[in-house]
Amino acid sequence: MSVPAVLVKELRERTGAGMMDCKKALSETGGDIEKAAIYLREKGLAAAAKKAGRVAAEGIVESYIHGAGKIGVLVEVNCETDFVAKTDDFKNLVRDIAMQIAAAKPEYIRREEVPAEMINNEKEILRAQALNEGKPEKIVDKMVDGRIEKYFKDVCLLEQPFIKDTSLTVQQLLSEAVSRIGENISVRRFARYEMGEGIQKKQSDLAAEVEAATRNVCK
C-alpha cells in the first residue's frame, strides 16, 4: 500500500526508528500507526536479542544530582565502541537511566542478582501476609508468585517501568536503543546516595552502645 509521508514522519518522531523501517512497519500494518509502533518495538527487541552476546566494554560513567544535592547517582553504562559512547543519543540514554535510578530507587540491576536468601525471606513474608488476609491455602502459592514478580519490578532496575514512559520497562528502553544505535548496550553497575540515609540507624546503634556502656559502669 502507499504510505502517506506524514504518517511516516509521525511514526519516526514517536519511535526514533529509521524512515524506511517506519514506512515498512506502516505498510505491514495497513497504515495503523499504533500497530506500526508495536511492530517496530517487537522487531527492535528481536534485533537487540541478537546483539546481547556481543562484548560491550566502552561507554560512560554518568553522575546525576537531584533535589539540590539530596540524591546522587553514579551509573556505568557500556556500549561496544567509543564512537557510540560519544553520541548524544547514547549520552541521553545514560542520563535517563541515571534519573531512573534516582527516582525509582532500584537495589539491583536484574533479578539474577537478587540473593536467593532475600527472595526466600520475601516469599515467607508474602505467604504470611496472604494467609493473614484469609486467603485459601490452595491459592496462596499463586498469590506469592504474583507478588514476588511485583517485588522484582520494584527492586530490579531493568524490570521497572521507565519513569518517562511507563508503557516501557527499562529493559525495553535499552532494547529499543540497541536496535536504534546498532550496538549492544548494558548497565554494568550503579550507586545511589540519599542524604541522611542510614543515619538514624547509626544513631540508634550508638545509643544502644552508650546504654550498654553505662550499665557496665554502674556495675
Q: Note the pLDDT tens digit of each residue in 156-177.
A: 999 999 999 998 899 989 988 8
Number of domains in the chain: 3
Cβ neighbour number for residue 89 with a 10 Å cutoff: 11
Mean pLDDT value across the chain:
84
**Residues near 93 by beta carbon (within 8 Å), at least 6 away in sequence:** 77, 173, 174, 177, 185
Mean pLDDT for 39-49 is: 64
Q: Name 189's bridge partners.
A: 76
Percentage of the residues of the chain whose pLDDT score is greater than 70: 83
User: Is the domain of 104 the same as that of 175?
Assistant: yes
- CATH label of the domain that carries residue 106: 3.30.479.20
Q: Which of 125, 152, 179 is the last residue of a domain?
A: 152
Instruction: Give backbone dihedrals phi and psi of 71, rounded to 5 degrees, phi first.
Output: -130, 135
Cell of 210: 552508650
Cell of 203: 544513631
Q: Are 187 and 77 in contact (CB under 8 A)?
A: yes
Task: Report if pTM > 0.75.
Answer: no
User: Is the domain of 175 the same as that of 148?
Assistant: no
User: Is the domain of 107 the same as that of 121?
Assistant: no
User: Is the domain of 189 the same as that of 97?
Assistant: yes
- CATH label of the domain that carries residue 137: 1.10.286.20
Q: Note the pLDDT tens digit of each residue in 172-209.
A: 899 888 888 888 899 999 999 999 887 765 666 656 65
Per-state percent for the chain, helix, strand, coil, to nearest 5: 60, 15, 20
The Cα 60–Cα 102 span in angstroms is 17
* Amino acid 159: pLDDT: 94
User: Is the domain of 106 the same as that of 130?
Assistant: no
Mean pLDDT for 98-126 is: 94
Is residue 73 classed as helix, strand or coil in its secondary structure? strand
Q: Note the pLDDT tens digit of each residue in 13-28.
A: 776 666 777 888 888 8
Is residue 16 classed as helix, strand or coil in its secondary structure? coil
217 pLDDT tier (thresholds 50, 70, 90): very low
Q: Which of 124, 152, 180 is the last residue of a domain?
A: 152
CA angle 19, 43, 54 (to 5 degrees): 105
* Amino acid 110: pLDDT: 94
Domain with 89, as residue range(s), is 55-114+156-219
User: Is the domain of 127 the same as that of 168?
Assistant: no
* Amino acid 140: pLDDT: 86
